Amino acid sequence: MSLHEWNLTMPRHPFVGLANYAQILATPSFWQAIGRTLYFTLVSTGLELLLGLAIALLLNRPFRGRGLLRALVLLPWALPTVVNGIMWRWIDNPDYGALNALLTQAGLLHAYRNWLGSPWSALNMVILADVWKMTPLAALLLLAGLQTIPRELYESAAIDGAGGWRQFLGITLPLLRTSILIVLVARTIEAFKVFDIIYIMTRGGPGDGTMTIAYYAYTQAFSSLLFGKGAAISYLIALFILLLSVGYVRLLRPAQ
């Protein structure tokens, strides 16, 4: 389909070779969508990895109520994305949203603000909603990796005088490399093709401020009815994800 001029308003779908790809790559809005998607992917994946690691380290320690806390941490991830998006639209509401109420009562904000009313703010609010939902998954994967590390290594390091920070750098991080790679690849793939949370919260607006590449493909295929271009963008998305995944694997591959 990506090699044809597939327009639902036209009766014929002639073969055009790579013309759809050439037109897309020459379109400024395509590269602007790529830029927003890269920002969304890097920021959301980075925050989810850092917060997930902190939560996993906490949940890996023995303390009273740990089982209950582990169950509570998973609640945001258990929510359907539609429910999560609607909930965050309510939280960000400029008239009665909980975020404005919290910040004004804490003295951090003097007047209510329309968090979804400007492109930059809206994009970051969507990232916040995604981080809130997906951080528990990162924590769960990292916690599984932490529990495979033998306790004897920490006991030997403590006998040798290594403190908590040195144990983290010398034992935890190297042995957690595979789990970190899984989190990075899985979340990068999901974040790069993010669509549903944006559709629910902002519909790509305001002013295309949250128009990621997956939403751009959707508008080309289902709003403009240009299925050939929509299919070409989908193949380009797969290519970008493949390149990012290969980069992660090479970056985190153990030294020979």
- Provide DSSP, 22-64: HHHHT-HHHHHHHHHHHHHHHHHHHHHHHHHHHHHHHHTS--T
Would the pTM count as exceeding 0.85? yes
Instruction: Determine the pLDDT at residue 70.
Output: 87
Parts of the chain with a pLDDT under 50: none
* pLDDT at position 32: 95
Q: For position 126, what pLDDT does the model report?
A: 96
Residue 215: the pLDDT is: 94
CA 116 from chain center: how many Å? 18
Instruction: Look up residue 254 and give its DSSP letter.
Output: P
Exposed e or buried b for every residue in 64-96, given b needs 16+ CB within 10 A?
A: eeeeeeeeebeebbeeebeebbebbbebbbeee
